A = this chain, B = another copy of it.
Amino acid sequence: MPPNILGSNFTLQSFGESHGKCIGAVIDGCPAGLMLSEEDIQPMLDLRKPGQSVITTQRKETDVVNILSGVFQGYTTGAPICMMIWNTDTDSKSYEEFKVKPRPGHADYTGFLKYGGFNDHRGSGRFSGRLTATLVMGGAIALKILNKYLNIEVASYTKSIGKIELDTKHIPFDMLMTERYTNDTRCPDANVSAKMREEILNARRDGDSLGGVIECVVQGVPAGLGEPIFESIESEISRGLFSIPAVKGVEFGSGFRGSELRGSINNDSFLINKENDTIVTKSNNSGGILGGITDGMPLVFRVAFKPAASIPKPQKTVDLKTMTESDLIVTGRHDPCVVPRAPPVVDSVVGIILLDNCMKSNLVPRVLK
């Protein structure tokens, strides 16, 4: 499979560079008959775009999406859907230095090595967080199908920033879904959000940056998704998530903390839900997945984002031309913490992967009605 394609039935081919002419995506395998226009995609792009609040980068990208193919008379045709955003607010000057003096924590060095120096380094090129907008293009379509035809709802939100963490165990799904976008940290609790916000502002004031954790809950997932052994639903989702820049950890259900528990605590007992006579589990330490297959409980997983690599503080690096050690001051407009912009991206990746897997299970007709 080519390296810039995600999915196997519903696929996304990503293209474009941060400071090139455009960024875009081609969706292949989308069923025909879906009502679709730019208005289905733009709102989700707007939730991701920079410059929305004081805690994100001040770049002003408008990120206006255009659908160029695959939609006719308001409906998808079954043909590839090409979508594009033309780049506008680019300022590549500061990046010249990074080509020779790679930024610690960034892909400047590995990109240079892998592509023999031919990679477009401007604005981090293909490695830029900006490319996550192409995931959102596809994600918005996938999520529309999942919502409308399968009643699946995805809620990613900020669980922690730095050491400030929200205990989400007792927050109902509907509240996660709605509250997360009521503040600029995307944390579904106003008090904790305020602390996170302060933490970010502190870090920025110190010329530093923060990381954090996105948690995601998916409701309405049909039981039976996932294709063991090698396409377990965990394998599928993690593959997608680790494509997001800055992601360094993924865990499902009780995850790493679950590895400290005993089986009698971590196992989820089966029960009858008397309201509708269905089988449920008492707890959900498995995160809705047993043997790599969804069990009908909500999917729950967490994604660790490292602190943003571009920081104003002086750092040590190597000058690739002279092969000497060197100081580096990273200038330019950068997010002090990418986590608040990540929920639409995580939603998108999961949306694409889940739709792809619903298609493998024959749950999505080739022509929608």
Contact = CB atoms under 8 A, between A and B. Distances in A.
A315 interface: yes
B114 A78 contact: yes
Contacts of A320: 279
Q: Which of A116, A248, A254, A258 has the most CB of B within 10 A?
A: A248
Interface string A331-362: 00000000000000000000000000000011
Interface in A46-71: 68-70
Contact of A105 (B114, B248, B266): B266
B210 A291 contact: no
Contact of A230 (B243, B252, B279): B243
A212 to B, nearest CB: 6
B248 A258 contact: yes
Given A109-B279, A259-B160, A230 B5 contact: yes
Contacts of A264: 207-209, 311, 313, 315
A119 B73 CA distance: 10
B21 A69 contact: yes
Given A6-B230, A16-B68, A315-B264, A304 B258 contact: yes
Interface in A244-282: 245, 247-256, 258-272, 277, 279, 281-282
A273 B307 CA distance: 26
A24 interface: yes
A308 interface: yes
B119 A32 contact: yes
B15 A69 contact: yes
Contacts of A11: 2, 5
Interface in A304-329: 304-311, 313, 315-318, 320, 323-325
A294 interface: yes
Given A248-B252, A250-B238, A313-B264, A119 B79 contact: yes
B263 A311 contact: yes
A354 to B, nearest CB: 15
A313 B262 CA distance: 11
A259 B228 contact: no
A104 interface: yes
Contact of A77 (B32, B119, B243, B270): B119
Interface in A211-251: 211-213, 223-224, 226-232, 234-236, 238-240, 242-243, 245, 247-251
A16 to B, nearest CB: 5
Contacts of A20: 68-69, 72
Contact of A307 (B4, B243, B266): B266
Interface stretch (A120-128, A171-179, A180-188, A189-197): A120-128
20 contacts: A2-B5, A3-B29, A3-B227, A4-B228, A16-B82, A21-B68, A78-B119, A79-B125, A79-B126, A109-B295, A114-B224, A206-B262, A235-B243, A242-B292, A249-B249, A249-B258, A261-B307, A267-B315, A272-B325, A279-B320
